[in-house]
Structure 1
Amino acid sequence: MSPRPRTLPSRSSRFRPRLRAARLVAVCLTVLVPAAPAAAVTSPGATSAAHGDDAALRGRLEALVRAPGGPPGAIVVLQRGPHTRVVRAGVADLATGRPPGPDDHMRIASVAKAFSGAVALALVDRQDLSLDDALKKHLPQLPRHWGSVTLRQLLQHTSGLPDFTESPEFLKILAADPHHRFDSRKLLDFVADKKLRFRPGARFHYSNSDNIAVALMAEAVTGTTYEKLLRELVYRPLGLRDTYLPSGYRLPEPSLHGYDLTDPASPEDVSELFGASGVWASGGIVSTPADVTRFIRGYASGALYGGKEVLAAQRNWVAGASEPAGPGADKAGLAIFRYTTRCGEVLGHTGNIPGYTQLIAATPDGERSLTFTVTSQVNQSLAPERLRELRTLQEDFVCALLKEKR
C-alpha cells in the first residue's frame, strides 16, 4: 500500500511555532502521515476464529488511520487469559515509518486517574484511608470551603472541586512555556480562591483537580511520595516494567509518537510538547500498551485489594462519563467507568491529551482485556464526528473480545 503524502516532521520542529503551542494548550486543557499496511500479531494459542476477526478488525483500524485527518498510528492489544493479540495500523513514528509496538512508550493521559484510584483503594483496603475521609482531615491547608469533600467523591468526580486546568493563570504559564516545571503538589493553588461548583455528592462533574487531591491525601496519610506509592502499590504487584510518572517532558524510546493534525498534510510531533508536572496524578503517567494491559486486568478485577467491600464500593455506579466517552453507554464508579456495549460490559477508563487518545478496558474478572491507542487527540470539542467513529470502532473491538469462544 502506498503511503499518504505528508510532510515528515522532525522532533525539533514541533516547538517552532509558539502561537501554535499556545493554541494546543488552550484546546487540550479546557476539555482535558504515511500509513503503513496494518498488521496483526496473534499468539500461538489463539483460536482459528480469532484469525478471521483479525482480518476484519485490521481493515477497520486501517480505514481509521487512512481516513483524511486520521491518526498516523493505532495499536490495539486484546488479551484472553494468557493469549494476546495485537492489531495495529499506520506508524509509531512518521520520521522512520516504524510500526507501533506493544512495548512503545506513550502518554496515557487521563488513564492515569485510574492509577490514582488504584493507590487510594489499596490504602483503603489497608485501612490507612477511609472512603469517607474528608479533605479537612488530611489536608487542612486546602481551602476551608472544600473541607467536607470526601475521598469517595473525589474518586467518583462528584466533589464539585473547580478544575485547575481551566485556570487562566495556569493556561497563561503553559502558553508561555509548555515545558514549565510546576510544583505538582501546588496545582490546586490555581483554584484555591474558587468555590465548589456544587454541593459535594450532588452530581457528577469530571475534574482534573479530583485526582490531584487524591494523590495529596495518599501522601498525607503515608508520609510517602505519590511516585513511590505508585511503585509499591501498583507497578510492583502487577509487574509493570515500563511505567513511571515523570516531571519533565522527555519520552523515552522506543516511543509511540503523538501528533497534532490541525493541518493533516503537515502533522506536528507533539510527543514532548508538554511536561508532565502540570497534570501529575491526573494525567502525567508514561506507560506502554503492554503495561496498561497488565494494569487494567488487575485493576478492574480488584487484584490490588482483597477486600470485597472495597471492590463493591468501586463499582457503585452513578450517571457520568469518562473524557472522552468510551464505547457504548458510560457509568462512573470510583476512578473506573462501566462501558455497556451491545455485546456486554467492560470496566475501564479513557484519556486524551495532544497526540494521544486512550481506552483501557477489561471484563470484571480481569480475564479479558483491551487497550486501544491512537496517536492523535480525539474528543467531543475537537472532532465530534471522529469521536463517534472511534467509539463505534472501539465497541466492535469489545464485541470481538467478548464473543470469542473460551
Structure 2
Amino acid sequence: MPIRRRVPRRPRRGAVPLIAVCLTTLSPAVAGAATPPRPDHDPALQRQLEDLIRRPGGPPGVIAVLKDERRTRVVKAGVADLETGREPGVHDHMRIASAAKAFSGAVALSLVRLGDLSLDDTLGERLPHLPDAWSAVTLRRLLQHTSGLPDYSESPEFVETLLADPRHRFDSRRLLDFVADRPLHFPPGSRYRYSNSDNIAVALMAEAATGERYERLLRELVYRPLGLRHTSLPQDHRMPRPYLHGYDVSPPEPPEDVSELIGMSGVWASGGIVSTPADMTRFIRGYAGGKLYGQDVVRQQRAWVEGASEPAGPGKNKAGLALFRYATRCGVVLGHTGNTPGYTQLFAATPDGRRSLTFSTTTQINQTLKPDLLRTLRAVQENFVCALLKGKGKG
C-alpha cells in the first residue's frame, strides 16, 4: 500500500572501549540498465588499495565501485573474511554506519515533497512530548546538524548500558530520553555540530507526520523507488549472509572480527542500516541526483554551511540537509560518510547523479582512533573521485 497522509501538514500544537569511542563519533529507473560490474584494471587505483591494506592498522579488505553512464568498475584489495580468504564482492552486506543518516534525510525530504512535512516544522509541533527547551528546533536544523540537540550517544548512562551489554536491546524510539534533561548546546541555526540525536528526531518526526513506522517509510519511499533489494534496518546484531567481515585492527594484536559486536537498536535511524556496495551505488545516484523529490527541495537541501561529515570525506567538506559537499581538486561530489566498529564508508555522486563512487573498508577509521590512517584514506578517496570524474587514477 502507498504511504498516505494520516494528519494535516500543520498539526495542532500540543572491544568494549572501542564501542564507546565509536558511538561518540557516529552516519529501477534510477539504477538504469547498467553493465555488469567487472574488476577494474587501472594499476594506479589497484596499487593504492593494496597500499592501504598494508598500512599499520589498515583494513583487511576494501572495495570501491565507480560508475558512470557507460560502465561500472570495481576495484578491490584484501579479503572479505580472514578465515576463508574470500574476496570482497559488490553483493556483500556491510554496516553503513552514519551514512544511514542520508536515508533518514531521504525519507524526510520525500515527505516534504508530498506535503506531509515542512522543513520549518518544529519539534514542539510534531513531537510535543519532547522537552520544551527543544521545541523551536526545526526539521531543517536537524537535517543540517545545526539544531543544538545534545547527543544521546555521549550520555554516560547510554554508554554504561552499552558497555555492560553490547547487544542490549534499546527502545529505538526512546533514545532521546537519555538526554531529555539537557538544554540545547546553542540556539538553533547558530552553529554546526554533528549529533546522532538529530537523525533520531528526524525519524520520529516522519513517523508522527504519517502514522507509519520508520522502517515502512524506508521501504516505500526509498528502497522501492531506487530498487534497493539488499538494504535493511535491523534491530539486532546479526549480519545477513554473505557479508564483509569488519575487524578491529590494533597492532600488535591480531585483527578481531567485530562484525556482530553490537546491536543496532542503539543507533537506529542514525546509523543502523545494513546494505551492499551495489545497493549503495543505486542509492547515492538517486539521492545525490535529487530523483526522490523535486528541484525546489533539492535547492534547499544544497544550502551549504561550514561543517564536515564524520569522518571527514575527501577534499573540503560542507554540510547541507543530510548531505555533504566534497570539493576535491578534480571537482565536486555530494554524499555521506560513516564509521562504526569494523567499517568505514563513503558514498558520493556528482550533483546530477550520473557518476558515483562507493568506497568501503573493513575497519573503523576516524580522527579519534587513527588520524594518520584517516589522512591517507581521504587522499586515496580523492584520487578515486578524480578517477571517476576524469577517467583516470593518480598514483
Contact kept, 8 Å, 1:324 with 1:351, in 2: the verdict is yes
Matching residue of 2:360: 373
Matching residue of 2:146: 158
Secondary structure at the residue paired with 2:216?
A: helix
Question: Equivalent residues in 2 for 1:4-403 (5 A)?
Answer: 21-32=15-26, 54-305=42-293, 307-403=294-390
Structure 2's unaligned 5+ residue stretches are 1-14, 27-33
User: Residues of 2 paired with 1:67 and 1:203: CA distance?
Assistant: 36
Cα displacement string for residues 24-65 of structure 1 (whole angstroms, at most 9, x for unaligned residues): 112111222xxxxxxxxx96899xxx966x211001101101
Quote the offset at 1:179 in angstroms: 0.4
Letter in 1 for 2:366: N
Quote the offset at 1:229 in angstroms: 0.2
Cα displacement string for residues 47-102 of structure 1 (whole angstroms, at most 9, x for unaligned residues): xxx966x2110011011012222110000000001510110000000110000000
Moved over 3 A (4+): 42-46
Secondary structure at the residue paired with 2:62?
A: strand
Secondary structure at the residue paired with 1:360?
A: strand
**How many pairs are equivalent?**
371
Contact kept, 8 Å, 1:112 with 1:281, in 2: the verdict is yes
Secondary structure at the residue paired with 1:232?
A: helix
Structure 1's unaligned 5+ residue stretches are 1-20, 33-41
Matching residue of 1:6: none
Letter in 1 for 2:96: I
Contact kept, 8 Å, 2:40 with 2:75, in 1: the verdict is no
Secondary structure at the residue paired with 1:338?
A: strand
TM-score after normalising by structure 2: 0.92
Letter in 2 for 1:268: E
TM-score after normalising by structure 1: 0.89
User: Residues of 2 paired with 1:276 and 1:152: CA distance?
Assistant: 26
Secondary structure at the residue paired with 1:30?
A: helix
Identity of aligned residues (%): 70
User: Residues of 1 paired with 2:367 and 2:154: CA distance?
Assistant: 17
Secondary structure at the residue paired with 2:64?
A: strand
Contact kept, 8 Å, 1:68 with 1:264, in 2: the verdict is no
Contact kept, 8 Å, 1:208 with 1:282, in 2: the verdict is yes
Letter in 1 for 2:180: A
User: Residues of 2 paired with 1:213 and 1:80: CA distance?
Assistant: 35
Secondary structure at the residue paired with 1:154?
A: helix
User: Could you say if the C-alpha distance between residues 186 and 82 of structure 1 is closer, same or farther in structure 2, counting changes exceeding 3 Å?
Assistant: farther
Greater RCO (Cα-Cα under 8 Å, separation 6 or more): 2
Quote the offset at 1:308 in angstroms: 1.4
Quote the offset at 1:146 in angstroms: 0.1
Secondary structure at the residue paired with 2:265?
A: helix
Contact kept, 8 Å, 1:43 with 1:85, in 2: the verdict is no
User: Could you say if the C-alpha distance between residues 243 and 82 of structure 1 is closer, same or farther in structure 2, counting changes exceeding 3 Å?
Assistant: farther
Letter in 2 for 1:23: P
User: Residues of 1 paired with 2:166 and 2:329: CA distance?
Assistant: 41
Cα displacement string for residues 257-285 of structure 1 (whole angstroms, at most 9, x for unaligned residues): 00001235411100000100000000000
Matching residue of 2:4: none
Q: What's the RMSD between the two structures over aligned residues?
A: 1.5
Quote the offset at 1:404 in angstroms: 1.9
Letter in 2 for 1:329: K
